[in-house]
């Protein structure tokens, strides 16, 4: 069963990375002829630069997230939680087994979100968020 889960995980992850790679490989494409009168060339180049930065970051963050999930699966993280935390109530234990990996994923996502907001978006002039606003928005998102 573990091999089936890992195979499905790898297949879906590989498909996602393939789609991102195909998107990235099209980064130097010119404006299609049928919409050249709609797009400004300079605005299109800026859009493509921003899109490619986001695509590269998405690939890197996907690799990081994949590694985290893979480590949890390969090292029986859920079983480790089960043996580490002595809770008699099976409902509470089930919630903990689900909740702790979600929290780990949220922490990793928050770190990646900080980079996305304060580096990539700032590089392209889209970031108007202050660190305090980011923390407040993140906290609101938790609730």
Give residues with Cβ within 8 angstroms of 71, minimum separation 6: 77
Main-chain phi, psi angles of 44, to 5 degrees: -65, -40
User: Measured between alpha carbons, how far is 32 from 87 in angstroms, rounded to an integer?
Assistant: 61
Q: pLDDT tens, 66-108?
A: 899 888 888 888 888 888 888 888 898 889 888 888 889 888 9
In this prediction, residue 57 has a pLDDT band, given cuts at 50, 70 and 90, of very high
Reported for 108-114, long-range contacts at CB under 8 A and 24+ positions apart, including other chains, are 108/64, 108/65, 108/68, 109/65, 110/138, 112/57, 112/61, 112/64, 113/138
Radius of gyration of the chain (CA): 20
Q: What is the 3-state secondary structure (H, E, C) of 80-127?
A: HHHHHCCCCCHHHHHHHHHHHHHHHHHHHHHHHHHHHHHHHHHHCCCC
- Could you state, in order of their start, the residue ranges of all structural domains in the chain? 1-75, 76-143
In this prediction, residue 128 has a pLDDT band, given cuts at 50, 70 and 90, of confident
Main-chain phi, psi angles of 68, to 5 degrees: -60, -50
The pLDDT assigned to 3 comes to 85
Residue 15 confidence (pLDDT) above 90: yes
């Amino acid at each position: 069963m573990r091999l089936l889960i890992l195979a499905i995980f790898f297949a879906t992850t590989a498909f996602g990375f393939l789609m991102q790679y195909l998107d990235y490989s099209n980064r130097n494409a010119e404006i299609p002829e049928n919409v050249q009168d709609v797009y400004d060339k300079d605005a299109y180049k800026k859009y493509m630069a921003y899109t490619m930065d986001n695509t590269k970051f998405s690939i890197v963050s996907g690799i990081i997230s994949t590694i985290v999930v893979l480590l949890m699966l390969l090292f029986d993280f859920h079983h480790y939680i089960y043996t580490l935390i002595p809770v008699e109530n099976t409902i509470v234990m089930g919630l903990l087994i689900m909740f702790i990996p979600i929290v780990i994923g949220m922490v990793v996502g928050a770190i990646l979100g900080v980079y996305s907001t304060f580096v990539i978006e700032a590089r392209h002039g889209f970031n108007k968020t202050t660190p305090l606003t980011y923390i407040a928005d993140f906290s609101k998102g938790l609730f």
